[in-house]
Structure 1
């Protein structure tokens, strides 16, 4: 595997700083100048790697994708070759593990940009399609291993993600220690698992 270029490394450092500042003061208040202050560098150096704030937002979106893919592709999920491993994957998808990888406030601020910025809309759609492809591949593993018999895995993937997105949005209003939170999560997991056809 080749070494990452200095440009790639520097861009990643700037994106991480952009994310840290957005977590502290909100995405809408985060500017190139504030990122530069956070890093102790000049605005010009940030703009050498990201010409505009919009370019930085696209980079942040790619960073979100990379972080979120970790949930589905983590070693913890492994190969989906048993009902237990499939159940574990679904539980992980509905868990608060997403929060370990990315802040909800920043994520939903990014999501709101799809309605205002065409480039960001396309980037965000690509992000979602990447997540869907990875889940689709996991479901293919489950079918190849005889764990499920569902025919239309593309449709199943879309339905599962619609459930996850809706559930996650709603569950953001609860702490994970509340009984209501636990009750809702278990409800979503139960109904998602009921979508699978087994032999």
Structure 2
């Protein structure tokens, strides 16, 4: 039990160092030596926990999934289902995505899906998981008669199609006011999918 916990703790530290270097230098420029230097440890110790860079990349994607899960956790645990859904939608269409995971790292990893089937599979799992989480809270609102929605799975999918397209475009917008203006426009459309008022 103790050994497993130590291993997981070390792996987490290595992934966090990997992530921090990726923000400043890009994934393609990361080496075991740089990760070891960031952590002030011998490179052989990094290799002990991750036998190659691909394993670290998969660990990073798991780190991304765990970070994005926070968007679904209500700040106030006493909120009802509809309030939680509204909070989640507001989070999805806000700058909070970028506070959980840096956009450059996310898209840097994403580009690898075209060359690496395992990374492609992991990214697909991530996107399906995000949709499943959103579908579940929409279904909860429907079950409690707080919302009318014939197909929660389709609604969740459409909201993420809006979100994914929005962030792809918004990653090229430097002006904060323009970013917020577009973001609010996409947020309104996402609320419309559920027949909800964005206010």
- 1:46-125 aligned at under 5 Å gives the runs 46-76=46-76, 79-82=79-82, 85-125=84-124
Give distance in 2, aligned partners of 1:77 and 1:101: 20
What does 1:1-199 correspond to in 2, within 5 Å? 5-76=5-76, 79-82=79-82, 85-175=84-174, 177-178=176-177, 180-197=178-195
Name the CA shift for 1:78/1:103 in 2 (closer, same or farther; >3 Å): farther
State the TM-score, normalized to the length of structure 2: 0.90
SS in 2 for 1:41: coil
In the alignment, structure 1 segments of 5+ residues that lack a partner are: none
Q: What's the TM-score, normalizing by structure 1? A: 0.90
Structure 2 gaps, min length 5: none
Q: Per-residue CA shift, 1:56-95, capped at 9, x if unaligned?
A: 000000000100110122435865533x543332121110
The whole-number CA distance in structure 1 between the counterparts of 2:80 and 2:174 is 30
Secondary structure of 2:140's partner? helix
Secondary structure of 1:194 counterpart: helix
CA contact (8 A) 1:80 1:139 kept: no
Residues 134 and 104 of structure 1, relative CA distance in 2, 3 Å threshold: same
Q: Distance in 1 between matches of 2:193 and 2:135?
A: 14
Q: Are the equivalent residues in 2 in contact too, given 1:150–1:196 (CA < 8 A)?
A: yes
Counterpart CA distance in 1 for 2:151 and 2:135 is 10
Question: How much has 1:174 moved relative to structure 2?
Answer: 2.4
RCO greater where, 1 or 2, for CA within 8 Å and sep 6 or more? 1
Return closer, same or farther for 1:32/1:78 CA change in 2, 3 Å cut-off: farther
